């Protein structure tokens, strides 16, 4: 709220009219008025509309389609050539073929057969080579890339200036030293032993293992195919150019079609080999020179380890195009591909899938579509929830990714319902919160709390943050709040995170993560405590029964002056808990809570951003004093009555100051009459506000006037009227105006008609002149109108959503009847 704030000579000036607006605006969102639940909890339930952008992986599926067209065309020509050679040439002209033609055909058939066979298996070997996550990072990609790629890079480097080559070398060394790449590599080294082989590490032969590793076999097959196709081109061209198929004697009908048959065969072989070489050239151009895979990885923002995921996705799409229809690969996308990997039983595939999904969920460009795909797949949500229980340090990244995905997924209301609906989901989320208490051997003590801090090889605080974030987003829904409360051991865990030591609250160099943990836990407790209905009643009771709840909040109020947001959240929790009578007594009976609330409420010279904490403290104090004689007596012992009267002059505080004073006057009892005599000093301020203000401030001032006058004799009240320059007839006329202005029960000021009638009753008792004044003004008619328009909203002191709590002991009908009797008797 920068408007109206000026800084001069290091001071901050806040205009009175702005303070009034802030006070009344803030007050309109409290528990003293009914509120609609619509739009209250979750502002992110609607799906944001974002422009449709082409998915980066579509470039790969299109690339796979084009390669498949080349490959299938070459395969068809090869098949036709093979049939032509075996049936026509070797079958029909085998005896009459020239010796060189016979061997050329045989060699071509052998090398083409070898090429086709190796081609059909090269893709399988390449596919297998991408399974191991130890290949993650830029170094693994260099290990995976083909030798041809290395050759092309070498040629390109030779064509560049020497200085540029040196820069590239330096950049390469920097990449190799990149810690992310080392982490990725070390992750694989640290993996525990398994009972099955990783396909990419299978040694085909017992000796020369490096050469015969499956990840290197694809390279061997790659070069074998190139050599076969090149040999086929050379042999076919030699024959097609020379046409030395042997002489055909006149009249030899067996050889007259031999030349044509041979030309057709060599042409088919040449066309097939050229198509294959064109496919390879296209592959090298797009993959090695244009760096298509790196480009897609960059657009997907998958990081250094993304090349493994991209290559795996490409080979899967290419395989589908070759094995079925050439259009099958176009149906693939990275999200469903990642979900399939995460659902597999291979740890490496699970990590690849988790990384892809996490990156897509965190990327604003892909987030909505990714969350939609995950949210409509119940089995995938179930899988993500299951992963939260994996506590093996070697599975930390998978678990962290799953938690981050769920934290985003829970941001949408419909998805949050699906997450919470998974059996055992909240128990799994609870496992992210790394805190526990030692078991006590006796019933007269509680186990000591232990919050596990970060370990050298495991980030426990990260999981604490994610767990609290997921729960906070789930708590936006009313039903989920009930499930959180019913999850065994979860509420005590959440309350444990609200504890923060004095040292941390006062330390200016405290790490943000520690304060963030406390903030999120307080936000979560606030949401649970403010839940409406029976669920809210149960949650407030359970939260207040945890013996550390109120004391943890008191410590924040006492030592958290440097963290006003934490104080505000803590105070709002107390306000919500005070809706329960037992909780209200526990709060008031906890040493120092009321004192700290008043310290915040009366604090001066603080920045503007702490004003909300002051107003929240006023709400809490008014709530704690409502219908609680013990708390009212505790407040009187703090000797704050004079300061409360003075606060009626402060625009920011006067609404809540008036509420507190009214509750003190109403619920302390006759034995505290002398202690409350000081309230009479507030009457001039109250009368002026009743005559000049409107809405909420007018309501609370009318209510305070109706109670404050009871502590004055008729002579004292006459003196107060004279001192303020307001006549009783003018006040009576104002009361009639209020009743006329609010012919129907108002939602924002639901008690203003009740308070007005109470004030009119006090004015008419023992004062016949006021009775005549009210008769002349037509009070009787207005009271009859009130009887015809009363509603339940006027029967309660406070509200939980649209439900009324703390019903008034005297009905508004009884007040109207009392006022009518006073009018009739005089």
* The pair of three-digit structure tokens given for residue 795, joined into one six-digit string: 């029967």
* The pair of three-digit structure tokens given for residue 608, joined into one six-digit string: 């503007």
> What is the C-alpha separation between 795 and 750, in angstroms, rounded?
9
* The pair of three-digit structure tokens given for residue 745, joined into one six-digit string: 């029960």
Sorted by sequence, the CB contacts under 8 Å of residue 409 that are 6+ apart come out as: 361, 371, 374, 375, 381, 384, 415, 416, 419
Q: What's the average pLDDT block by block, 10 residues per block, for the chain (826 residues)?
A: 41 42 48 59 45 76 89 83 73 61 77 64 53 39 39 46 40 38 40 56 55 59 78 82 63 62 82 87 88 87 82 86 85 90 88 91 89 92 93 88 93 88 92 69 59 59 90 92 92 91 83 87 94 91 93 92 91 94 92 93 79 91 92 92 91 92 86 82 89 88 89 83 86 90 84 90 85 88 88 84 82 90 78
What pLDDT shows up at residue 151? 43
With CA atoms as reference, report the closest residue to 524 among 488, 470, 574, 479.
Answer: 470
Classify residue 169 by burial, with Cβ atoms within 10 Å: 0-12, 13-18, 19+.
exposed
pLDDT in tens, 774-786: 888 888 888 988 8
* The pair of three-digit structure tokens given for residue 213, joined into one six-digit string: 């590793």
Q: Containing H/E element for 435?
A: strand 435-437
Asked if residue 594 lies in contact with residue 638, where contact means CB atoms within 8 angstroms, the answer is: yes
pLDDT in tens, 24-61: 444 445 677 776 554 444 444 444 444 556 788 889 88
> What is the C-alpha separation between 348 and 136, in angstroms, rounded?
10
Helix (H, G, I), strand (E, B) or coil at 434: coil
With CA atoms as reference, report the closest residue to 530 among 800, 796, 799.
Answer: 800
What pLDDT shows up at residue 249? 53
Helix (H, G, I), strand (E, B) or coil at 300: helix
- Phi (first) and psi of residue 208, to 5 degrees: 50, 50
Helix (H, G, I), strand (E, B) or coil at 803: strand
Helix (H, G, I), strand (E, B) or coil at 213: strand
* The pair of three-digit structure tokens given for residue 511, joined into one six-digit string: 């790490």
- Phi (first) and psi of residue 458, to 5 degrees: -155, 130
The residue whose two tokens read 């943990």 is: 517
> What is the C-alpha separation between 292 and 280, in angstroms, rounded?
15
> What is the C-alpha separation between 605 and 603, in angstroms, rounded?
7
Asked if residue 212 lies in contact with residue 68, where contact means CB atoms within 8 angstroms, the answer is: no
> What is the C-alpha separation between 51 and 562, in angstroms, rounded?
43
β-strands 803-807, 796-800: how paired? Answer: antiparallel
């Amino acid at each position: 709220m920068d408007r109206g704030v000026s800084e001069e000579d290091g001071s901050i000036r806040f205009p009175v009219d702005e303070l009034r607006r802030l006070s009344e605006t803030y007050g309109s969102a409290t528990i003293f008025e009914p509120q609609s639940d619509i739009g209250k909890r979750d502002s992110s339930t609607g799906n944001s509309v974002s422009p449709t952008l082409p998915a980066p992986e579509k470039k790969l599926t299109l690339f796979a389609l084009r390669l498949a067209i080349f490959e299938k065309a070459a395969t068809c020509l090869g098949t036709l050539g093979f049939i032509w050679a075996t049936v026509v040439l070797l079958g029909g002209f085998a005896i009459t073929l020239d010796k060189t033609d016979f061997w050329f055909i045989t060699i071509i058939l052998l090398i083409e057969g070898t090429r086709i066979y190796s081609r059909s298996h090269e893709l399988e070997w390449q596919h297998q080579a991408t399974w191991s996550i130890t290949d993650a990072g830029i170094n693994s990609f260099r290990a995976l890339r083909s030798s041809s790629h290395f050759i092309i890079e070498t040629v390109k480097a030779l064509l560049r200036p020497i200085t540029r080559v040196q820069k590239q070398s330096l950049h390469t060394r920097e990449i190799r030293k990149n810690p992310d790449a080392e982490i990725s590599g070390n992750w694989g080294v640290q993996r525990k032993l398994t009972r099955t082989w990783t396909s990419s590490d299978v040694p085909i032969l017992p000796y020369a293992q490096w050469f015969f590793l499956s990840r290197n076999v694809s390279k061997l097959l790659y070069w074998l195919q190139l050599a076969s196709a090149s040999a086929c081109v050379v042999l076919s061209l030699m024959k097609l150019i020379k046409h030395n198929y042997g002489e055909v004697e006149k009249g030899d009908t067996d050889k007259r079609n031999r030349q044509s048959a041979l030309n057709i065969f060599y042409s088919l072989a040449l066309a097939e080999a050229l198509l294959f070489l064109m496919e390879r050239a296209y592959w090298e151009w797009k993959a090695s020179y244009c760096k298509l895979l790196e480009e897609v990885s960059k657009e997907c923002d998958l990081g250094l380890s993304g090349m493994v995921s991209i290559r795996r996705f490409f080979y899967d799409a290419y395989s589908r195009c070759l094995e079925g229809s050439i259009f099958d690969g176009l149906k693939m996308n990275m999200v469903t591909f990642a979900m399939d990997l995460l659902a597999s039983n291979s740890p490496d595939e699970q990590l690849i899938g988790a990384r892809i999904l996490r990156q897509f969920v965190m990327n604003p460009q892909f987030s909505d579509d990714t969350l939609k795909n995950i949210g409509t797949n119940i089995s995938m949500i179930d899988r993500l929830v299951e992963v939260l229980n994996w506590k093996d340090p070697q599975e930390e990244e998978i678990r962290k990714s799953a938690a981050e995905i769920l934290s985003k997924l829970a941001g949408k209301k419909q998805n949050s319902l699906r997450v919470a609906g998974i059996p055992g989901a909240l128990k799994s989320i609870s496992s992210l919160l790394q805190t526990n208490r030692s078991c006590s051997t006796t019933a007269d003590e509680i186990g000591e709390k232990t919050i596990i801090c970060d370990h050298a090889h495991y980030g426990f605080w990260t999981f604490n943050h994610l767990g609290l974030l997921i729960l906070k987003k789930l708590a936006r829904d009313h039903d989920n709040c009930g499930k959180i409360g019913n999850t065994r051991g979860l509420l005590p865990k959440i309350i444990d995170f609200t504890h923060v030591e004095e040292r941390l609250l006062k330390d200016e160099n405290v790490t943000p993560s520690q304060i963030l943990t406390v903030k999120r836990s307080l936000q979560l407790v606030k949401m649970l405590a403010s839940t409406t209905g029976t669920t809210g009643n149960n949650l407030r009771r359970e939260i207040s029964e945890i013996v550390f709840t109120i004391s943890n909040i008191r410590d924040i109020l006492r030592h958290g002056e440097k963290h006003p947001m934490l104080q505000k959240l803590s105070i709002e929790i107390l306000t919500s808990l005070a809706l329960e009578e037992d909780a209200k007594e526990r709060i008031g009976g906890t040493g120092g809570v009321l004192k700290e609330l008043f310290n915040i409420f009366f604090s001066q010279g603080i920045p503007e951003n702490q004003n909300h904490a002051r107003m929240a403290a006023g709400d809490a104090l008014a709530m704690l004093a409502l219908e609680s004689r013990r708390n009212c007596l505790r407040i009187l012992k703090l000797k704050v009555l004079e300061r409360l009267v003075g606060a009626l002059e402060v625009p920011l505080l006067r609404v809540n100051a008036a509420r507190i004073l009214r509750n003190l006057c109403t619920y302390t009892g006759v034995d505290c009459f002398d202690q409350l005599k000081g309230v009479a000093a507030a009457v001039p301020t109250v009368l002026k506000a009743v005559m000049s203000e409107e809405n909420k401030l007018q309501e609370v001032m009318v209510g305070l006037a109706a109670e404050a006058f009871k502590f004055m004799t008729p002579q004292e009240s006459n003196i107060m009227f004279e001192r303020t320059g307001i006549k009783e007839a003018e006040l009576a006329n104002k009361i009639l105006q209020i009743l006329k202005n609010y012919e129907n029960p108002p939602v924002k000021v639901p008690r203003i008609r009740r308070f007005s009638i109470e004030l009119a009753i006090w004015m008419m008792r023992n004062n016949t002149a006021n009775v005549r004044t009210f008769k002349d003004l037509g009070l009787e008619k207005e009271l009859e109108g009130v009887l015809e328009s009363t509603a339940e909203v006027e029967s309660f002191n406070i509200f939980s959503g649209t439900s009324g709590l703390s019903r008034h002991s005297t009905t508004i009908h009884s007040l109207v009847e009392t006022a009518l009797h006073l009018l009739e008797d005089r």
